[in-house]
Amino acid sequence: MMNYFFTEEQQMIIDTAKEFAVKHIKPVREKYDEEGHFPTEEVKKMGEAGLCGLYIPEEYGGMGKGIMGLCLAVEEMSKVCSAIALSMAATALGTFPILLFSSDAQKKKYLPDIASGKNLAAFGLTEANAGSDALGMQTTAVKDGDYYILNGTKQWITNGGEAQVYSVIAVTDRARGSRGLTAFIIEKGTPGFSFGKKENKMGIRASATRELVFQDCRIHKDQVIAKEGMGAIVAVNTLYNSRPGVAAQALGIAAGAFEEALAYSRQRKQFGQPISSFQAVQHMLADMATEVEAARALLYATAKTIDAAGDAKAFAKESAMSKLYCSDTAMKVTVNAVQILGGYGYMKEYPVEKMMRDAKITQIYEGTNQIQRNEIALGLIKENASKK
Amino acid sequence: MNIVVCIKQVPGTTKVAINPATNTLIREGVESIVNPFDMYAVEEAVRLKEKFGGKVTAIIMGPPQADQALKTTIALGVDEGVLLSDRAFAGSDTLATSYTLAQGIKKLGGADIILTGKQAMDGDTAQVGPGIANWLDIPFVAWVKKVENVDLTTKKIKVERMMDDGYEVVESSLPVLLSVVKEINEPRIESLRGKMKAKTFKPVVWSAKDIECDPDFIGLHGSPTLVNRVFVPVRSGKKEIIEGATVEEKAEKIANKLREAKLIN
């Protein structure tokens, strides 16, 4: 076993998340996947176990264990079910705008209930015609005295309808381009704010994905994050911080699928011997294990680097690398895990087909892997240019 | 509300050896855990605190390393832990143990509710709980499977008590000692915050003198019990195995028996 020199507290996070996953997630994952059931009960228990506020500072009710703490818990829970772990990981995505840019008053108002698991959060950036081109969004926020009036629809929002707190980006001044976007904190139940139907997805089916619909939704200016025009900066910095969380989710899926494949290969007998004795299978397992370990090393290094700096802004490239590599690894490893389990792998009685379906989204959301490569290349060019 | 939960450290295995000379358990070299039945008492204590407010104190009698058992309870939400530890306590039977724990609870200033597991997994006597209640001269309710209500103004508690054939609803005055069965709750996992608190936890340690024990009532000297023989008791409940060649035949036999007993028509 590789030694990552975890602190005693990091080891406690791993142990707690593992125990939680085995006790509370494993028994329901198949059912929730099949029925598309949101894990409301499990999230409550996750909060009680102390796993919801790892990345939130102690002064706001969290544990102050940084991105690394968040990643360790997400990885461990995703080994068992990434969709249920996502309820917390996507909450982190929705919370980062507040954590990074909000006033102390906004932090005091929203963070403690998120840290305790009482409230979930969500991030509203994507629209039907603004995916990778997020700045091409149509949702508008028009100033009206002390209020902004929001109109438009956000699409494919994880935790949509289940979360109480939404960080939403809207256009306040189209003429100013990327400086014409503004971030708002919007609470569920605000008049003019409703949800579209729950999406029927390939994977992460226990996670809820819905549209956020704004129709003349009046939001007080006190709900603006940072200040008007800062929306794009809020959004990109949120993603720099949240991408290691997606990487951790992907890593967990990969590690979980690998463990299933390894155990199965030793128990499944063909031609009178375990299939793990065949070199064809051995080489697959060797590649899977190596890739999982490499993904883990990259992610932990990224998370520790960001935590040490106290900010992800300077590490957009590394953040993108970890998301890219972990999610590509998750896809590859889960496909091979299904292959090793053969016909059984294709059946829903075994968890690897679900892991394969769940893995795909990690290559798509919070920036497709094509966008991650753009980000990495941009970082490389910037770094090289600044040397001159 | 002041809640005290009494716990015991037991061997973490069901394969225990018995010292043939004394007919008592050999505890050396065996990993210790909190008596599993006590874990339900701990969980219930923490739930009562969460619902009604107050404080939960765990108390244990044992050697210095019994503080590990207290640590476990701290990680689960218990506020404070008291370790009654003194060489003079060694060799205590259930009478001396219950006296010692009762003295410890008195020193704590008593409690509104005292909780214990229904029995310990090693000795299986189920005598210490009622023993403590007796020494403290407070009511005792055994095999509690649900706390229905606690009324702190009238100082009354209503509980459901598990019986072989159903349950009884019992109302008692406070303070009370309840022994709980595993049906009462599902113990939570240790929370991260709890684990971190447990890491630095140091119990209050009290000696026989600290809790003003009468030397005649503690340890081997205060233990009148003699263990003559250790054996597995014969089950009193009646059991019958229905045999038959097919499922239908067995079902028919069962149905006939139920008809004979006038349980079905």
Question: In sequence order, which ranges of chain A are alpha helices (DSSP H)?
Answer: 8-20, 26-35, 40-48, 66-80, 82-101, 104-115, 231-267, 279-309, 316-346, 352-362, 369-387
B188 to A9: CB separation less than 8 angstroms, yes or no: no
Q: At B15, is the pLDDT very low, low, confident or very high (cuts 50, 70, 90)?
A: low
Question: Model ipTM?
Answer: 0.81
For the segment A164-187, what is each residue's pLDDT rounded down to a tens digit?
A: 999 999 999 999 999 999 999 999
Q: Which of the listed residues A182, A209, A231 is the one where a domain comes to its end?
A: A231
Q: Is residue A316 domain-resident?
A: yes
Identity of the residue in A23, A45, A49 whose CB atom sits nearest the CB atom of B192: A49
Q: φ and ψ at B188, to 5 degrees?
A: -75, 170
A16 to B196: CB separation less than 8 angstroms, yes or no: no
**CATH number of the structural domain spanning residue A209:** 2.40.110.10
Average pLDDT over residues B120-136: 87
Q: At B14, is the pLDDT very low, low, confident or very high (cuts 50, 70, 90)?
A: low
The answer to whether residues A127 and A250 belong to one domain is no
Would the pLDDT of B32 be above 90?
no
User: Which residue pairs from B156-164 have beta carbons closer than 8 angstroms and sit at least 24 positions apart in sequence?
Assistant: B157/B113, B164/B237
Q: Is residue A1 domain-resident?
A: no
Q: Is residue B30 domain-resident?
A: yes
Q: Is residue A247 domain-resident?
A: yes
Number of domains in chain B: 1
Q: Is residue B230 domain-resident?
A: no
What residue in A sits closest to B193 (Cα-Cα)? Answer: A50
Would the pLDDT of B24 be above 90?
no
Put simply, whether A22 touches B (Cβ < 8 Å) is: no
Tokens representing residue B62 in the block = 């044992």
Q: Is residue B183 domain-resident?
A: yes
B195 to A49: CB separation less than 8 angstroms, yes or no: no
Question: In sequence order, which ranges of chain B are alpha helices (DSSP H)?
Answer: 36-52, 67-75, 94-107, 128-136, 192-200, 247-260
For the segment A300-343, what is each residue's pLDDT rounded down to a tens digit?
A: 999 999 999 988 899 999 999 999 999 999 999 999 999 999 99
Choose the catalytic residue: A293, A366, A375, A383: A366
For the segment B191-237, what is each residue's pLDDT rounded down to a tens digit?
A: 999 999 999 999 999 999 999 989 899 988 888 888 788 777 776 66
The answer to whether residues A84 and A140 belong to one domain is no
The answer to whether residues A26 and A97 belong to one domain is yes
Distance in angstroms (rounded) separating the CA atoms of residues B145 and B92 = 29
Domain interval for residue A72: 8-120
Would the pLDDT of B122 be above 80?
no
Would the pLDDT of B10 be above 90?
no
pLDDT of residue A134: 87
Q: At B263, is the pLDDT very low, low, confident or very high (cuts 50, 70, 90)?
A: confident
Q: Is residue B250 domain-resident?
A: no
B192 to A23: CB separation less than 8 angstroms, yes or no: no
pLDDT of residue B231: 78
What residue in B sits closest to A51 (Cα-Cα)? Answer: B192
Put simply, whether A13 touches B (Cβ < 8 Å) is: yes
Q: Find the angle CA(A10)-CA(A15)-CA(A20) to the nearest 5 degrees.
A: 125
Q: At B244, is the pLDDT very low, low, confident or very high (cuts 50, 70, 90)?
A: confident
Asked if B105 and B111 count as a contact pair (C-beta separation under 8 A), the reply is yes
Within 13 A of B200's CA, how many CA atoms are on the CB side? 4
Q: Is residue A207 domain-resident?
A: yes
3-state SS class at B88: helix
Q: Is residue A3 domain-resident?
A: no
Percent of chain B past pLDDT 70, that is, above it, reads 95
Q: Average pLDDT over chain A, rounded to whole?
A: 97
The answer to whether residues A127 and A109 belong to one domain is no
The answer to whether residues A106 and A213 belong to one domain is no
pLDDT of residue B142: 94
Distance in angstroms (rounded) separating the CA atoms of residues B92 and A325 = 62
Q: Is residue A204 domain-resident?
A: yes
Contact map slice: B 152-211 vs A, CB within 8 A: 188-196, 199
**CATH number of the structural domain spanning residue A303:** 1.20.140.10
Average pLDDT over residues A246-266: 98
**CATH number of the structural domain spanning residue A19:** 1.10.540.10
Q: φ and ψ at A3, to 5 degrees?
A: -100, 115
Would the pLDDT of A369 be above 90?
yes
Q: How many CB atoms lie within 10 A of CB A380?
A: 11
A50 to B194: CB separation less than 8 angstroms, yes or no: yes
Q: Is residue B166 domain-resident?
A: yes
Q: φ and ψ at A31, to 5 degrees?
A: -65, -45
Would the pLDDT of B105 be above 90?
yes
Nearest Cα of chain A lies from the Cα of B112 at a distance, in angstroms, of: 26
Within 13 A of B197's CA, how many CA atoms are on the CB side? 18
Q: At A111, is the pLDDT very low, low, confident or very high (cuts 50, 70, 90)?
A: very high
The answer to whether residues A353 and A242 belong to one domain is yes
Would the pLDDT of B18 be above 80?
no
Closest CA relative to residue A235, chosen from A175, A313, A144, A336: A313
**CATH number of the structural domain spanning residue B82:** 3.40.50.620
Average pLDDT over residues B55-74: 94
Average pLDDT over residues B165-170: 88
Identity of the residue in A49, A54, A63 whose CB atom sits nearest the CB atom of B189: A49
Q: Is residue B235 domain-resident?
A: no
With contacts defined as CB-CB under 8 Å, which chain B residues touch A48? 188, 191
The answer to whether residues A280 and A364 belong to one domain is yes
Nearest Cα of chain B lies from the Cα of A185 at a distance, in angstroms, of: 28
Nearest Cα of chain B lies from the Cα of A16 at a distance, in angstroms, of: 7
Q: Average pLDDT over chain B, rounded to whole?
A: 89
Domain interval for residue B109: 2-222
Q: At B239, is the pLDDT very low, low, confident or very high (cuts 50, 70, 90)?
A: low
B193 to A63: CB separation less than 8 angstroms, yes or no: yes
Asked if A159 and A207 count as a contact pair (C-beta separation under 8 A), the reply is yes
Q: Is residue B89 domain-resident?
A: yes
pLDDT of residue B27: 66
Q: For A68-82, give the DSSP string.
A: HHHHHHHHHHHHH-H
Q: Is residue B254 domain-resident?
A: no
Distance in angstroms (rounded) separating the CA atoms of residues B120 and A329 = 50
Nearest Cα of chain A lies from the Cα of B72 at a distance, in angstroms, of: 14
The answer to whether residues A362 and A249 belong to one domain is yes
The answer to whether residues A147 and A112 belong to one domain is no
3-state SS class at A270: strand
For the segment A45-101, what is each residue's pLDDT rounded down to a tens digit?
A: 999 999 999 999 999 999 999 999 999 999 999 999 999 999 999 999 999 999 999
Number of domains in chain A: 3
For the segment B83-100, what is each residue's pLDDT rounded down to a tens digit?
A: 999 999 988 889 999 999
A19 to B189: CB separation less than 8 angstroms, yes or no: yes
A49 to B199: CB separation less than 8 angstroms, yes or no: no
Identity of the residue in A9, A49, A54 whose CB atom sits nearest the CB atom of B191: A49
Judge whether A19 counts as a catalytic residue. Answer: no
The answer to whether residues A95 and A180 belong to one domain is no
The answer to whether residues A381 and A252 belong to one domain is yes
With contacts defined as CB-CB under 8 Å, which chain A residues touch B196? 9, 12
CB pairs under 8 A between A and B: 32
Closest CA relative to residue A121, chosen from A156, A79, A89: A89
Q: Is residue A284 domain-resident?
A: yes
The answer to whether residues A364 and A245 belong to one domain is yes
Closest CA relative to residue B138, chosen from B179, B167, B169, B97: B179
Q: Which of the listed residues A213, A231, A249 is the one where a domain comes to its end?
A: A231
Asked if B116 and B44 count as a contact pair (C-beta separation under 8 A), the reply is no
